[in-house]
């Protein structure tokens, strides 16, 4: 059962990613990105990291995709030109080659020392997360918060229209 | 056949490669940026898979997870700044096609 679920979610991650990279309209690309991120967070659930799965859904599939859609609406990006048939076939062939090569690279070398999960996941992972985040990783946590602030101020500074510039022209 | 570390690494590798070639080959800045996000999330998947399979009974805390948390936070910053730059580019040039943005070339 777990194997079937894994293969389903892996396909749900990779196939929309391929369509993201080849789609002509940016809106379709954003939708495919959302599907791919939903599959990815399901993979996180299969790795028993529920906290990060929820975070991935909220931040990536929620906030970031909505931000992309908002910008697409704002700037009215047009369609890419229709690709020729040869080009489409070439991208399909490249995808097949990529699958074969990475399959060989990953599965060809035999199992490593970490091939199986050896211990149970902690029952209260988010509690462990919180404790570690506010004790051992306090400084990186603070720096991350400051970085978010810097990004916010930077975005406002970049997108602001300079009135002196407009007046001079 | 049980699901091992290499299965997750395979998915991660596919995602990263698709994102990489998307960044190289696409012309629309927005799609390029989305492919960049794909590469980042592939790295997060590899982090989480390694930390899950590396956990031992003595240290059940998976430190790769904490690293992934920071990566997600920084990715949010990066998306905000990148999209602001794209909006500014659009305001200047009325286009987001990469082959029409070549002021630094000439």
Has residue A118 got a pLDDT over 70? no
**Confidence bin at B95 (pLDDT 50/70/90):** confident
Q: What is the 3-state secondary structure (H, E, C) of chain B?
A: CCCCHHHHHHHHHHHHHHHHHHHHHCCEHHHHHHHHHHHHHHHHHHHHHHHHHHCCCCCCCCHHHHHHHHHHHHHHHHHHHHHHHHHHHHHHHCCCEHHHCCCCCC
Residue A108 has pLDDT above 90, yes or no: no
B101/A contact by beta carbon, under 8 A: no
Q: Tell me the torsion sign for CA atoms B86, A147, A69, A23.
A: positive
* Percentage with pLDDT > 70 across chain B: 92
Place of tokens 């399979």: B53
- B106 to chain A, closest Cα gap in Å: 23
In this prediction, residue B101 carries a pLDDT of: 79
Structure confidence at residue A169 (pLDDT):
39
pLDDT grade for A113, boundaries at 50, 70 and 90: low
For range A78-98, the mean pLDDT? 76
Q: How many Å lie between the alpha carbon of B22 and the closest alpha carbon of chain A? A: 5
A159: phi then psi, degrees, rounded to nearest 5:
-85, -5
Using the Cβ of A152 and the Cβ atoms of chain B, whether some distance falls under 8 Å is answered with: yes
The torsion region of residue A166 among left (phi > 0), alpha (psi -120 to 50) and beta comes to alpha
The complex's ipTM works out to 0.89
Condensed to tens digits (0 to 9), the pLDDT of residues A147-168 reads 999 999 999 998 887 766 554 4
B86 touches chain A (CB under 8 A): yes
Q: What is the overall mean pLDDT for chain A?
A: 83
In chain B, domain spans = 5-100
pTM for the predicted model, two decimal places: 0.86
Kindly determine whether residue A3 and residue B68, on different chains, have CB atoms separated by under 8 Å.
no
Query: In Å, how far is A136's CA from the nearest CA of chain B?
Result: 11
Nearest residue to B87 via CA among A76, A103, A145, A124: A76
User: Which of A12-16, A62-66, A129-133, A137-141 is least confident?
Assistant: A129-133
The confidence score (pLDDT) of residue A65 equals 93
CATH class belonging to A1-96: mainly alpha
Record: contact A132-B66, CB cut-off 8 A: yes
Indicate the pLDDT class of residue A58, thresholds 50, 70 and 90: very high
pLDDT per residue as tens digits for the range A25-39: 889 999 999 999 999
Is A8's pLDDT higher than 90? yes
| Residue extents of the structural domains in chain A | 1-96, 124-160
Using the predicted structure, report yes or no on whether residue A76 has a pLDDT greater than 60.
yes
Q: Which CATH number is B5-100 given? A: 1.10.287.3510
pLDDT of residue A109: 66
pLDDT class of B60 with cuts at 50, 70, 90: low
- Cβ within 8 Å, pair A133-B96: no
């Amino acid at each position: 059962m777990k194997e079937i679920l894994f293969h389903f979610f892996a396909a749900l991650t990779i196939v929309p990613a391929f369509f993201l990279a080849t789609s002509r309209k940016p809106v379709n690309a954003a939708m495919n990105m959302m599907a791919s991120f939903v599959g990815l967070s399901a993979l996180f659930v299969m790795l028993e990291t529920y906290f990060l799965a929820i975070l991935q859904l909220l931040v990536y599939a929620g906030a970031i995709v909505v931000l992309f859609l908002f910008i697409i609406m704002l700037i009215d990006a047009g369609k890419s030109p229709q690709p020729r048939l040869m080009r489409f076939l070439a991208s399909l062939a490249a995808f097949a080659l990529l699958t074969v090569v990475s399959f060989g690279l990953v599965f060809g070398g035999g199992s490593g020392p970490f091939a199986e999960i050896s211990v149970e996941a902690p029952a209260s992972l988010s509690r462990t997360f919180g404790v570690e985040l506010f004790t051992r990783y306090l400084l990186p946590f603070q720096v991350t918060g400051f970085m978010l602030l810097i990004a916010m101020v930077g975005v406002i500074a970049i997108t602001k229209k300079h009135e002196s510039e407009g007046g001079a022209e | 056949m049980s699901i091992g570390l290499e299965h997750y690494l395979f998915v991660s590798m596919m995602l990263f490669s698709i994102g990489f070639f998307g960044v190289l080959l696409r012309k629309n800045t927005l799609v390029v940026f989305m492919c960049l996000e794909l590469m980042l999330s592939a790295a997060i998947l590899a982090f989480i898979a390694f930390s899950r399979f590396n956990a031992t009974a003595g240290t059940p805390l998976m430190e790769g997870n904490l690293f992934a948390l920071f990566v997600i936070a920084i990715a949010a910053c990066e998306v905000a700044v990148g999209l602001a730059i794209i909006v500014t580019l659009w305001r200047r040039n009325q286009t987001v096609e990469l082959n029409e943005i070549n002021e630094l070339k000439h």
